Structure 1
């Protein structure tokens, strides 16, 4: 079975990089509720469209958000499968910790 492109290390790193900025976290929090257009995001965050565009580009490159055009507006929504990829990546380390802890205790 072929690994989806979103699980390539570059996309995992891009995902965590995208999550490292408070403005991008705020964008994601707003998008948890519903799809929003750029103008709504700018208003809710109190940032200029040019500043927000930089952050949305980072989120798109990390595959954390989807975008669609409707007329002259661009609407953004969460790309939930990519969050699952990041969650699974971290879960694998949690599982590794449990395995190593069990091995440590078995050797006593």
Structure 2
């Protein structure tokens, strides 16, 4: 995923999220929400060929530093792609038991 660009995505009202990010030419969409204590939590990931994986409430949020940096990067229109990639992959890894492993492997998100 090193050369894969992230972009801010627009989603329909039926798919609400505070932060929507598309990647792999919009084959993958990753949605995050603001969470308690100013943290950000992964809400869902949809994968072409697999569908939409909704994470349960027990998903682990980003830590304080990642949440702050994520917001800063998002507000600057995802200008720091490398840092964003590291934050997203770290958050996926801590929640990987809640996400479809075959989709994560196919899209190299582990």
**TM-score range relative to shorter protein:** under 0.3
Say which structure is richer in helix: 1
Q: Which protein has the larger Cα radius of gyration, Structure 1 or Structure 2?
A: 1
Task: Give the structure, 1 or 2, with the largest relative contact order (CA under 8 Å, sep 6 or more).
Answer: 1
When the two structures are superposed, what TM-score results if normalisation uses the length of structure 1? Answer: 0.26
